[in-house]
Structure 1
Amino acid sequence: MLVVVLPLIVLFTIATVKTIPVIGGDVRIALVAAGLTAWVMGEPSLPSLGAGIVDGIDTLAWVMCLSLFGSIYAESQVRLGTMDAVLGVLRRVFGNSPRGLIAATFVTLTLAGSLLGDAIAAATVIGFLVIRALAELKIPAEAIAMMILVGASIGSVMPPISQAVFLSASLLEIDPAPVATIAYATVTGSLILVLLQSFRYVRGRSLPVELIPTETLGALVRRTWPVFGPLALLALIVVLDTGFGVNLFSLLPGGSTALAFLDSTPILRGFSNLVVLAIIAATLFALLYPTVGKNVGSIVVTGAKNVGGTLLLQLCAGFMVGMFQVSGAIDTVAEAAQGLSGNAVALGAVVVIAVLGMITGSQTTAQTVVVPFAGPLLVAAGGGSVAVALGASHIASGAQNLPPVGLTAFVVCGLVGASLNQRVDPVKTMILALPNSLYFIVVGLLFWLFG
């Protein structure tokens, strides 16, 4: 068991002891160091090192492709004005009331997060559009931050572009589509919960005259409908596949052969996922718009820059997963856990994911450390692989916003504070977001126990 315990000690030490010179508190270095420790504790050799790197990156290839191309696509939609148009349409759909404004804000954040796959990016893109409007309703700054934090976090878990779902499915080596299908319903439940929680801040209030839109819904749609083209294409491709089993790319001449080649090639298989291909297709369609086509270089650079840190973290996580695989650490845990009940494994894994998410503020780290060990054990104990993947994605997503180290909360509080010119307490914001965090953890645990 030393091949398992020692790497985890290295991981926790570097990630949590910030007083260590140079590397203290750096999760990326902690992941790489843990992977190297596992490799050394196994049977170290250059071939095993190379095989581990390829296997690890291959495991997370879908997630990394999703992050990169999703961010580039999202940047094209920002330049096109799609998200601003969506917010405008939803404000008119939900009515000219404070509750309508809050509902429009949450749905827009959820949509932005589902397209970006990243909570921080969604909060940044949409946050500035709504902060001052919410402040004019006399909503406390920490409550505004909570709404943006939770809305963006919900969106980052909501399919079709869900890093958490794709990561858990990749770590279990299963198709993410069935997991994503169920996630639509479970994540919608969290959206309803936070809406009910947030409406209390505007009970008995009316919308100020200056916040009431003057343009009618029909006029707005007639003016902005062209910008919805790429989004409509993305939705069409995903709905045809998930709802009707029609893969448009396989219908193209040579499409099936190309998809088969990509799917059978390590690392390149990340490009074979339908959602990734749909994002690429929607981005290419967006290039037909002059606003996007004339600025394609800056859009690609900005999109890649926005997820540079996330991609590096995912690469480090993939390295650690690969080293755990070639060192035999995962097999060691499986042998040692023989005879344990699925409930015991589930409860133990929930605690570890919650602690990791709490101290790192990252669902990626929490899942990468726990799922390779606990996932196969839960499946072996009788759990369905789809239920195990769904549970892992939800538990980790809830854990990453637990106080006191929620990275997204600190970013959101900085945005709100800068916009309102006042200090916004991140810990208080995370406490206000606690009901939603616990919802995800409880839902995930239920799928582990009864899925």
Structure 2
Amino acid sequence: MVNVTIPVILLLGIILIKKIPYIGGNISVGLAACALSAFLLGGVFNPVNWILGWIDGIDRISWVLALIVFGSIYGEMQVEIGTMETVLNSLRARFGHSPKGLVTAIIISLAIAGSLLGDAIASATVVGVLIIKSLHEMEISGEGISSIIVMGACLGSIMPPITQALFMSSSLMGLESPDPAVNIGYFTIGIGVILVCIYASKMFIKINSLPEDLIPAKTSSQILKEGWKTLVPMAVLVAIIVLRSGFKIEVLNILNPIFSPISKIPIIKGIDFAIVKAIIVATAVSLFYSNVRKNAVQIIKRGLVNVKTSVTILLFAGLMIGAFYNAGQIATVQKFAQELSPNILKVGGAAAMALVGMLTGSQTTTQTAIFTFFGPALTATGVDPVHAAVAGAHLAMGGQGLPPADLTTFVVAGLVGGTLGMKVDPIKSMFYSAFMCFYFIIIGFIFMYI
């Protein structure tokens, strides 16, 4: 196991010990150091094999890369069109006539935004700026406002269709398609949204009625009638997914002549996945809007800038994943796992994912560092690969949001504090959000045992 433990210690050491000169806290450097040490300890000394391993590793997560890039561009187009404002305003008009109803509408809007943007920080920023002052008028503390936004946005970021966490775990499990895990995600996150709405209503609402200026003047139907055009691209995306998941109607098959030539090309073939193609179609529909066409270059640039860091990390994660598979670390862990009690493996692995998530504040880093080994080890003990993928995504999300390092909370707490001109304690906000995190962890355990 030395060939496994040393690379992982290197990775976590570089990421967590920020005082290391020049490289401390740099995730990409940590992943590269981990990968190179894995190659060397596995007896792979030829740099050509390192490059081939890197290509293999990136190819394994090619769907995730394609999803992030095209999903971000699509999300920016929806911001330009005004999709989220229409969704938020219509939900406020439908449910927001009471304090609890308004908080529920906000959380659902954040979840929808996250599911379309695929990123918690992006959705928290897009929707958060629209609702911070409204929540403040309801006498909710800055930490409470931050927690509400973070929980809604994080639920959205793992909610399909654009779900980085489930795509990542499915890739690491080597599933032929993420669809089975993604379909389960609709159910688990749907329940999570309901529970978080109840929790937030009980935890943060201290008033019995809304200030008059927060009660919508228009009805939900009036808002939808005026803004229905902004919902067309989203409706196209939803229709494709519903037809595919609910009725097994593959409308995207008409695009096969276009995508078939790239379906066998390493890395590029990540584009030839159903959800990515659905996003591309919805993006093409968005181009029918004049403001999108007019600002297309700037929109695409914003979308790419938004995911620059994520893509860089994933490229180096591909190097590490390729090293682990090609230098024998995965096989070593699978063999070791067969000698362990399944309960010890599951509890220990889940604890490791939660701990790394807490310390790094990143589900991507958590999955790359731990689930790359932990996922295959679970299957070695008899866990269904789809269930393992669902468990890994939820455990990583649960650990990410716990104190003390959740990046989303730090960003949102700063946004809330800046908007309201007050100090917002991000750690206190993380404790408020722990309800959601423990829900994710419980779901992770359930799917390891069923």
Q: TM class, shorter-chain normalised? A: over 0.9
Whether the 8 Å CA contact 2:338–2:381 is kept in 1: the answer is: no
- Distance in 2, Cα, partners of 1:18 & 1:217: 50
The residue that corresponds to 1:219 in the other structure is: 222
1:119 and 2:120 matched:
yes
Letter in 1 for 2:32: V
Deviations 1:336-365 (A, max 9, x none): 332223222211110111111011111011
Equivalence map 1:172-191=2 (5 Å): 172-174=173-175, 175-191=177-193
- Distance in 2, Cα, partners of 1:256 & 1:307: 28
- Distance in 1, Cα, partners of 2:256 & 2:219: 46
Say which of 236, 241, 254 aligns to 2:239: 236
The residue that corresponds to 2:343 in the other structure is: 343
Q: Per-residue deviation at 1:260?
A: 4.2
Q: RMSD in angstroms over aligned alpha carbons? A: 1.3
Q: Per-residue deviation at 1:26?
A: 1.5
- Distance in 2, Cα, partners of 1:203 & 1:310: 39
Deviations 1:105-125 (A, max 9, x none): 001100000011110111011
The residue that corresponds to 2:108 in the other structure is: 107
1:315 and 2:315 matched:
yes
- Distance in 2, Cα, partners of 1:110 & 1:364: 19
Equivalence map 1:27-106=2 (5 Å): 27-42=27-42, 43-106=44-107
Equivalence map 1:319-398=2 (5 Å): 319-398=319-398
Letter in 1 for 2:423: R
Q: Per-residue deviation at 1:311?
A: 1.1
Q: Per-residue deviation at 1:268?
A: 1.5
Alignment: residue pair count: 447
What percent of counterpart residues are identical? 42
- Distance in 2, Cα, partners of 1:324 & 1:182: 28
Letter in 2 for 1:263: S
Whether the 8 Å CA contact 1:27–1:360 is kept in 2: the answer is: no
Deviations 1:386-407 (A, max 9, x none): 1100000000011101100111
Equivalence map 1:191-270=2 (5 Å): 191-200=193-202, 201-250=204-253, 252=254, 255-270=255-270
- Distance in 2, Cα, partners of 1:261 & 1:341: 46
SS of the aligned residue for 1:19 comes to coil
SS of the aligned residue for 1:21 comes to coil
Q: Per-residue deviation at 1:222?
A: 1.8
- Distance in 2, Cα, partners of 1:131 & 1:401: 20
Is 94-103 or 154-163 further displaced after alignment? 94-103
- Distance in 2, Cα, partners of 1:259 & 1:281: 13
Q: Per-residue deviation at 1:247?
A: 1.7
SS of the aligned residue for 1:373 comes to helix
- Distance in 2, Cα, partners of 1:363 & 1:107: 22
- Distance in 2, Cα, partners of 1:330 & 1:380: 11
Whether the 8 Å CA contact 2:11–2:369 is kept in 1: the answer is: no
1:136 and 2:146 matched:
no
Can you give the 5+ residue segments of structure 1 that lack an aligned partner in the other structure? none
- Distance in 2, Cα, partners of 1:5 & 1:118: 31
Is 48-57 or 147-156 further displaced after alignment? 48-57
Deviations 1:274-333 (A, max 9, x none): 111111111111111111111100000001111111111111211111111121111122
Whether the 8 Å CA contact 2:233–2:285 is kept in 1: the answer is: yes
Q: Per-residue deviation at 1:217?
A: 2.5
Whether the 8 Å CA contact 2:38–2:327 is kept in 1: the answer is: yes
Whether the 8 Å CA contact 1:342–1:449 is kept in 2: the answer is: no
Q: Per-residue deviation at 1:36?
A: 1.2
TM-score, length-scaled by structure 1:
0.97
- Distance in 2, Cα, partners of 1:117 & 1:125: 12
Letter in 2 for 1:194: V
